[in-house]
Chains A and B, each alone.
Chain A
Amino acid sequence: MGKREQARAEAAFMRGDVGVDGAATEEKQDAAEVERGKAREALLRGKAYLGREFLTWLLWRSEAGETLVEFEKTGVTVLFLGRVVLKGISGDVTELSARGAMAPYSEQVRQALDRGLLVHQARLLLTHGEKAYEVTLDAEFLDIRAAKLPALMSEEDDSRTTERLYLAEQLSALIHTLVEAFVAVRAGRAWSKQVVPAMKEWMRGEEGTRKQTVLQRAANVRKR
């Protein structure tokens, strides 16, 4: 061993990088492990899993096309549209994106949900009485992204600004009402005893199929 090489080996030993046998003291972390670690941190950060469970619950609840909550004495219905992003921490896949007119309600997405992935980002259509809002939501912050508000009725600039702000706040309030409905269910006893088993049944396709209803609703949305 040359002098320089010996000095390098000694320095590595002094740093604690190698042991007396010259072998590395720490094994390099497996890439898959690192990936899962990051996914796990993202799931727990600021309780993001609650946002993901909320969107997954909403997907399940929305399939029947029924009114999910009442807001200002009017029912609110939800329909997932187009692209949906799923994220998880177990298994080999930590992120999955599905695109297609009915992708969120597809069998492939439900199977992925059954394997431990949860909805992380989705595009929703919220209908409240005569008004329809489209919005993309992500599970971590539930920020409003690229929303489409109902057409403005006012003509004057100032009134249009106030109306736009009012509609933006209505959209925010609709989402918040859905969140509160979810939290009430999530904190109740029925969550683990009834709701989660029913969601799992739906993911496995064991409950009566309601696909027709969703397809009909999607067709109606496209007609608008």
Chain B
Amino acid sequence: MPILRGAVTFSRFLVQPDEGAPSDLKRSLSRTLKARAFAPIERRSEEERAAGFVELENHDSTEFPAGALFYGEYALFGYRIDQIKVPGPVLRAEVDKWAAAFQKEKGRPPSRGEKAENRSSVRQMLRNRAVPLTKVHDVSWNLKSQQLQIWAASRKAVEEVLSAVETGFKVKLLPLIPAAAAARMGIEDSALGPTAELIGMELQAEVSHGEA
């Protein structure tokens, strides 16, 4: 729980409402979080992954009452990702074991179709036994200053939470990097090409991903 204790590692963003964003964000927060709440992986289904919002202090709860969501001017919640993985070598070993028993019993090796059928039932059995791997990334949102922090070390995780927040709340999260700061200060892109004397060569700033 990095917001509450532990390593202080987070990515920083400024929240900018998109078109269609709710006018009273604070009132709609709980509703939006519930709409995209975490739901555990359905064991009988084929899905290997589930992700969604959870309460900060109770990762199994998705009720988001005001008391669990608001801390002063902050809204605090988590983004939970569960994954079930059936290890390939374990699956292979189980299928081989079954194939050996099959041959002993029937005096012939199983056909390709029989093997495939067994593989899928073994996979399901291993899935039922496997414990999902759970990761929760905290989100702190200052509703007054409209600064949002995603408390995650991996960039892949940050991108996933960012996308969930942007889609769910109909907002744009602008990273607090020099290019975005320059854009907000009204500085034109042409004034911010790479400095040849510092990087040791002339270069055009042709690759941009639109943060600025």
Contacts and interface: CB of A to CB of B under 8 A. Distances in A.
Interface string B118-154: 0000000000000000000000101001010100010
A45 B7 CA distance: 28
A107 interface: no
Contacts of B93: none
A192 interface: yes
Contact of B198 (A45, A149, A172, A199): A199
A contact patch SS: helix
Interface residues of A, number: 54
Contacts of B176: 142, 172, 175-176, 179
Interface stretch (B43-51, B95-103, B189-197): B189-197
A141 B181 CA distance: 12
Interface string A144-155: 111111000000
Given A46-B209, A53-B178, 12 more contacts: A49-B205, A116-B199, A144-B8, A161-B3, A161-B76, A162-B74, A165-B3, A165-B71, A172-B147, A172-B149, A187-B192, A196-B197
B149 A168 contact: yes
B19 interface: no
Given A45-B209, A90-B199, A142-B177, A184 B194 contact: no
15 contacts: A46-B179, A47-B208, A50-B179, A89-B203, A90-B200, A91-B200, A118-B198, A143-B11, A161-B71, A165-B3, A165-B142, A176-B12, A179-B177, A183-B187, A196-B198
B94 interface: no
Interface in A126-149: 140-149
Interface residues of B, number: 46
Interface of A: 40-41, 43-47, 49-51, 53-54, 56, 88-91, 115-116, 118, 140-149, 158, 161-162, 164-165, 168-169, 171-172, 175-176, 179-180, 182-184, 186-187, 191-192, 196-197, 199-200
